[in-house]
Every structure is written in structure tokens, then in C-alpha cells.
Amino acid sequence: MNRALFVYLALAALTLVVFAVWPELDLKAAHYFYHGGSFFGGVSLLRFGRDFFRVTPFVVLAAYAALWLARRAGMKLRWAPSGRAVVFLVATMAIGPGLIVNLGLKDHWGRPRPYQTEGLSGQAPFQPWYETDGACKRNCSFVSGEAATGFWMVAPASVLPPPWRAPAVVAAFAFGAGASLLRLAFGGHYLSDVLLGGLITLIVIEVVRRLLWPRGASTSGASSRPGFGQSRLRGASRRPAA
């Protein structure tokens, strides 16, 4: 088990335990975004932000697929993902946010969303994450689909060449955090929902990565022209040692 997968599994287990022992933490966090009888999500700028975070992962996935197709068609590109990288991106999106989060958990768990809960604009009783018999029947609160797709952005960032990979991964985590905060601001999810939605996707990313790339294999796509630091590395390797 690699270090990242171990960390994500440990964080997921810790989140489940903490919010099972102290379920009121979800309500306390929700109240930070609830004032004057409503959540902050009614602001037009936040609605635009939600659309941005919701659509961008699918735009990125389509862009990577388009780059791969363009290279296959013979276009000279500075960089394009490999076919294996495209399979990695499609698989992680389909399995994590798709099958596990949206089809598996959200439609069957029954947890009402914060705005549906008593004391937070709604009438349903509060349900901790471990109770599955709540008033919600479909597209429920546990877990957050938009947090899952937000943190999926770590996958395309991780297949970039090394000079760009690290800052892209940092930006991807910031993207996931931003998408999660907006879901809290809209009253669409509790804190445990967004934490676990993101962690489920990160776990899926690491599992699929280990299946597609054996230890030591590069995850970045091939470049059709020297760039992204490759030419410098090649030049350095040809220089005689001092």
C-alpha cells in the first residue's frame, strides 16, 4: 500500500469515527453558514461559483480526451496524455463520483440535507451519517457528489509531467476544498458529507493508479515535442561530470 492510499484510508476511518461519536459537529458546522433563516447559497456570486465547480471537472476530462485524440490524429502537440492516462481519468470519474457516490450512496442512504433539517430551514429530523432510514428518498445528503467531482481534479493533475504536476495537484486540492465549502454554504451537505465524498474519490484514484501503473512506471503522457522540462533534463544528462 502506498503512502497516499494509506493516508486517505486512515482519514476516512477517522472521519467516520469522529462524526459517529460526535454527530453534533455536523450541525455546528452547518450553523456557521446559516444566518437570518437561510444559508449563504442564495447569493448570485455563489450560484455562479457552484456552476463553475460543478462543470469544470467534466470540461477538463473532455479537454484531456481531445488532446489524446488530436495526438492520435497526427497533430504535433507539446504534450498530450497517454491512452492509459485517459482510461485512468474516465475510470476514476465513473467509479468514484459516478458509481460509488451518486448511484451507490446518495440514492440509498436516506440522510436529509441540512436545508431539509429542523432548525435549518427544514422539517426533517437530523440524521447522523450512520443512520440510513431518514426522510430523504433520493439524491440525499450522504455523501457529497460535488465534493467528489471537485477532488477528482487531483487525477488529471497527477498525470501531468513533473515540472507541472506538483503545483497542479496543489491547485486541484484547493479546487476540491472550494467546491466543498460551497456545498456547505448552500446547505446542501454536512461537513462529514463533503469530507467523505472527497476521500472516497481520492481512494479510488490511488487504487486505480496502482492497477494501471506498476510501481515505478510514469503516469505522465508522452510529449510529441521536447518541453515541460524534458529538454533540460536530457541536456543535463549529456554533460560530462565535473
Q: For residue 5, what is its C-alpha cell?
A: 492510499
Helices (H), the chain: 3-21, 24-31, 44-72, 83-93, 145-152, 154-158, 162-185, 191-212, 230-238
pLDDT tens digit sequence for 23-32: 999 999 999 9
pTM: 0.89
pLDDT tens digit sequence for 108-127: 999 999 999 999 989 999 99
Domain ranges of the chain: 3-214
The rounded distance, in Å, linking the Cα atoms of 79 and 62 is: 15
